[in-house]
Amino acid sequence: MDKIVVVGNGPLYGKIPIAGAKNACLALMPATLLSSEDLILTNSPRLSDIRTMSHLLKSLGCSVVSLDEGRTLVLSTKNIDNHIAEYDIVRKMRASILVLGPMLAREGRAIVSLPGGCAIGARPVDLHLSVLEALGAIFELRDGYIEGKVNGKLKGAIFTFPMVSVGATENALMAATLALGTTVLKNVAREPEIVDLAECLIKMGANISGHGTSEITIDGVESLKGATHSIVADRIELGTYMLAPVIAGGEVELLGGRRNLISSFCDKLEQSGVEILQKENSLVVRKTNNQVRGINIITEPFPGFPTDLQAQMMAVLCTALGDSILEERIFENRFMHAPELIRMGAKIDVQGGVAKVSGVARLRGAPVMATDLRASVSLILAGLAAEGETIVSRVYHLDRGYEKVEEKLGACGALIQRVSE
Ligand code: UD1
The domain locations on the chain are 2-18+234-420, 22-230
pLDDT in tens, 349-371: 999 999 999 999 999 999 999 88
Q: What is the pLDDT of residue 123?
A: 75
Angle of helix 126-134 versus helix 166-177 axis, rounded to 10: 30
Q: Are 362 and 387 in contact (CB under 8 A)?
A: yes
Q: Can you say whether the dihedral through the CA atoms of 116, 118, 123, 128 is positive or negative? A: negative
Q: With b meaning 16 or more CB within 10 Å and e meaning fewer, what string describes 165-203? A: bbbbbbbbbbbbbbbeeebbbeebbbbbbbbbbbbbbbe
pLDDT in tens, 100-142: 999 999 999 999 999 865 565 667 899 999 999 999 999 999 9
For a mutational test of ligand 1's pocket, the pick from 236, 330, 333, 376, i.e. the residue with the most ligand atoms closer than 8 A to its C-beta, is: 330
Atom 24 of ligand 1: nearest residue by CA position? 123
The pLDDT-based confidence of 291 (bands split at 50, 70, 90) is: confident
State pTM to two decimals. 0.97
What CATH class does 2-18+234-420 carry? Answer: alpha beta
Q: Is the CB of 331 under 6 A from ligand 1?
A: yes
Q: Supply the mean pLDDT for the chain.
A: 95
Q: Is the CB of 330 under 6 A from ligand 1?
A: yes
pLDDT: which is higher, 260 or 288 = 260
For a mutational test of ligand 1's pocket, the pick from 50, 123, 170, 240, i.e. the residue with the most ligand atoms closer than 8 A to its C-beta, is: 123
Atom 1 of ligand 1: nearest residue by CA position? 166
Q: What is the pLDDT of residue 9?
A: 85
For a mutational test of ligand 1's pocket, the pick from 56, 90, 141, 166, i.e. the residue with the most ligand atoms closer than 8 A to its C-beta, is: 166
Q: How far is the CA of 165 from the centre of ligand 1 (A)?
A: 5
Q: Is the CB of 334 under 6 A from ligand 1?
A: no
User: What's the CATH code, domain 22-230?
Assistant: 3.65.10.10
Q: Are 207 and 219 in contact (CB under 8 A)?
A: yes
Point out the ligand 1 atom lying closest to the alpha carbon of residue 332. Answer: 30
Q: Is the CB of 293 under 6 A from ligand 1?
A: no
- 5 forms bridges with which residues in the sheet? 391, 417
What secondary structure does DSSP assign to 310-341, as a single string? HHHHHHHHTTSBSEEEEE--S-TT--THHHHH
Q: With b meaning 16 or more CB within 10 Å and e meaning fewer, what string describes 61-100? A: ebebeeeeeebbbbbbbeebeebebbbebbebbbbbbbbb
Q: Is the CB of 192 under 6 A from ligand 1?
A: no
Same fold, 2-18+234-420 and 22-230: yes
The residues annotated as belonging to the active site are 118
* DSSP at 351: E
**Beta-carbon contacts of residue 252 (< 8 Å; ≥ 6 apart):** 12, 13, 14, 15, 16, 241, 242, 244, 245, 284, 285, 412
Closest CA to 250 of 241, 263, 259: 241
Closest CA to 388 of 361, 370, 418, 365: 365
Atom 7 of ligand 1: nearest residue by CA position? 23
Helix (H) or strand (E) holding 109: strand 109-113
Angle of helix 235-248 versus helix 373-385 axis, rounded to 10: 20
Is pLDDT at 312 greater than 90 in this prediction?
Answer: yes
